[in-house]
Amino acid sequence: MVSSLERVAGRITAPRGERILGWATLVAMAASAVMSLVVSPPDAQQGNAARLLYIHVPSAWLAYLSFAVVFVASIAYLATRRTRWDRLAAASAEVGVLFTALAIALGSLWGKPVWGTWWTWDPRITTTTILLLIYVGYLAVRRLSDSPARRARWAAVVGVVGFLDVPVSYLSVTWWRGLHQGTTIRLLGESTIAPIMQVALMTGVFAFTLLFLYLVTVRLRLGRLEDRAVAEALSPRLGQSAEALLEQEASARG
Amino acid sequence: MVSVVPSLWGYAIAGYVMTAGAIGLYVVALHARARRARDRAAAIAGRRRTSTPP
């Protein structure tokens, strides 16, 4: 299972795969922009400010998706001590921080015309801000140690524990009363959104998911190159791959 | 019929510009970092090759 996943990941992250993914993402993002800004009508009460829905929700979705990938990759790293899992977690966390910050900023921009304020300590906003701080901390932890193995181990622990805030943030609109609206699209039961708006939203979610794959692919390549530079500088043995050197260090340190 | 709902296009446009800017800047930064890392690895490998006796 893991090896077939790695084979698929290998194909996507190959230079040609990365280019194709980049173009597919660009086309999907353009389609999403047309759906959101041209096809979808303005909201009856919020006017055109409601169009922020089509980038705010996909940004929040990417934040959750990124941190779920960090969670899984961190567990996989702790179980196997393979460098590629740590690299995947680092790549995904960086993308997650960007989109969490974007979701908060877009929410603030939307809140001003709709709620009359840029900021309020609503449960969803507060738990999402905590999520952002946790993963900024995760990225900071990655800079604390010079040892790749120790850095990966500490980061993996934060990646696993930090994920606890994701379900809290998602369910906060159900658990506590606040200004933020509840779930709009339900997998089970009827959605409370007009069909054309739902199509525009789903197009956005799809485009942002492709964007996530593209960004993580490029970030993974960067991680491999950075590791290779470190291994080239440190390796006393010529002809050994960076991957092998880093994994040797990881297993030696337990 | 005259709409009583304000247009509020400004907020929507600001949001889309901010999103495009953030994603664009991140993609450019990622590619620049990858290029620098590749050059650094190649430079180190090159220095080692020239300093290692045959």
How close, in Å, is residue B2 to chain A by CA atoms?
A: 13
Q: What is the pLDDT of residues B17-45, one digit of tens each?
A: 999 999 999 999 999 998 898 888 788 77
pLDDT of residue A163: 97
CATH of domain A18-253: 1.20.120
**Is the model more confident about A238 or about A60?**
A60
How close, in Å, is residue A209 to chain B by CA atoms?
A: 13
Domain count, chain B: 1
Q: Is B2 a member of any domain? A: no
Token pair 């500490």: residue: A154
- Indicate yes or no: CB of B34 within 8 angstroms of CB of A225: yes
* Residue of chain A minimizing CA distance to B30: A219
Q: What is the pLDDT of residues A42-99, one digit of tens each?
A: 998 899 999 999 999 999 999 999 999 999 999 999 999 999 999 999 999 999 999 9
Q: What is the pLDDT of residues A170-206, one digit of tens each?
A: 999 989 888 888 777 666 667 778 889 999 999 999 9
DSSP A24-77: HHHHHHHHHHHIIIIISPPBTTTBGGGGGHHHHHHHHHHHHHHHHHHHHHHHHH
Q: What is the pLDDT of residues A148-174, one digit of tens each?
A: 889 999 999 999 999 999 999 999 998
HEC assignment per residue over A64-113: HHHHHHHHHHHHHHHHHCCHHHHHHHHHHHHHHHHHHHHHHHHHHHHHHH
Q: Is B16 a member of any domain? A: yes
Residue B19 is nearest to which of A48, A102, A113, comparing CB atoms?
A102
- Indicate yes or no: CB of A225 within 8 angstroms of CB of B18: no
Residue A162 neighbours by CB distance under 10 Å: 23
pLDDT over 70 at A122, yes or no: yes
Q: Is B39 a member of any domain? A: yes
Domain that includes residue B52, residue range: 9-54
A98 touches chain B (CB under 8 A): yes
- Indicate yes or no: CB of B41 within 8 angstroms of CB of A232: yes
- Contacts with A184 (C-beta within 8 Å, 6 or more apart), sequence order: A57, A191, A192, A193
d(CA A231, CA A229) in angstroms, rounded, equals: 6
ipTM: 0.84
Residue A44 is nearest to which of B5, B12, B34, comparing CB atoms?
B5
